[in-house]
Structure 1
Amino acid sequence: MPTFETTARFDRDFKKLLPEEKARFQEAVRDKFVPDVVRGRFRPGLRVKPVQRVPLPAGARPVMEMTWAPDGRATWQYADEIRAGEPHVIWRRVGGHEIFDPGPA
């Protein structure tokens, strides 16, 4: 089972979601994202892909985007394992397309 952490920005974004959006995101993570992370391959419906134009230091893991609703997006990144042999994911942003606006950190 993968482990997770969230950024402060993700936490702020999540609080702004409507209750039904929160439920839909959590359902997508539980029923689709987690099983796909475990098997190491994402289903096409999640449309997981690297976020374009995100500057990263050399050797850093790419920031990824996941679609969880028609206008529901989340960005995330793999990080060093916390439990041996289990992926660790950092959730970075969640919301609609506005999450791609760099804005203040």
Structure 2
Amino acid sequence: MKYRVAESFRNDFRRLPSEHQRLFQEAVRVHFLPAIEAGSFSGSPTWPKRLRIHRLNNTEIYSLTWNFASPDGRATFHLDKTDSGDPVLIWRRIGNHDIYRQP
């Protein structure tokens, strides 16, 4: 799946300590991308429980928990379409629970 990064995500990511950046990238590579390839956006199979992916109330924005302990790692994203109609994932925010104020 193609993806884009919102400026807010880019700014958030730069502020993360390098270890937190690495933990996020590992969760995406090891758990998130394989789940997308397996069809999790269509509901079969479901998302890996360790990522706690869910839609935020009354929005098209999803939340992913990439770490439960220190750091409390969260990221938000939504799906869009390219000009040609192909799906594209947009990374919106990354950080801790505070990102939910402006996901």
1:75 alignment partner AA = T
Could you give the per-residue CA deviations for residues 14-47 of structure 1, whole angstroms, max 9, x where no partner exists? Answer: 0010000000000011111111111122111111
What are the within-5 Å matches in structure 2 for residues 83-94 of structure 1?
87-94=87-94
1:89 counterpart letter in structure 2: L
Contact kept in structure 2, 1:4 and 1:91, CA below 8 Å:
yes
- For residue 98 of structure 1, what is the amino acid of its counterpart? D
Residue 44 of structure 2 is matched in structure 1 by none
Q: Name stretches of at least 5 consecutive residues in structure 1 with no aligned partner.
A: 55-61
Task: Read off the aligned partner of 2:67 and give its amino acid letter.
Answer: A
Output the aligned Cα RMSD: 2.0
Give the letter aligned to residue 68 of structure 1.
W
What residue is the counterpart of 1:58 in the other structure? none
* Equivalent in the alignment of 1:50: 55
Distance across 2 between alignment mates of 1:82 and 1:21: 33
Written as runs of structure 1 = structure 2, the 5 A alignment for 1:1-105 is 2-41=1-40, 42-52=47-57, 54=59, 62-70=60-68, 71-81=72-82, 87-102=87-102
CA shift for structure 1 position 52: 2.2
State percent identity of aligned pairs.
Answer: 33
User: d(CA) in 1 for partners of 2:10 and 2:29?
Assistant: 18
Change (3 A) 1:82 1:34: farther
User: In structure 1, what is the equivalent of residue 43 of structure 2?
Assistant: none
What is the SS of the residue equivalent to 2:102? coil
Contact 1:82–1:88 under 8 Å retained in 2:
no
Matched residues, number: 94
Please report the TM-score for the alignment, with normalisation by the length of structure 2.
0.82
Separation in structure 1 between the aligned mates of residue 81 and residue 4 of structure 2, nearest angstrom? 12
Structure with greater proportional helix content: 2
Distance (Å, rounded) in 2 between the aligned partners of 1:30 and 1:83? 26
Residues 87 and 53 of structure 1, relative CA distance in 2, 3 Å threshold:
closer
Gaps of 5+ in 2: 41-46
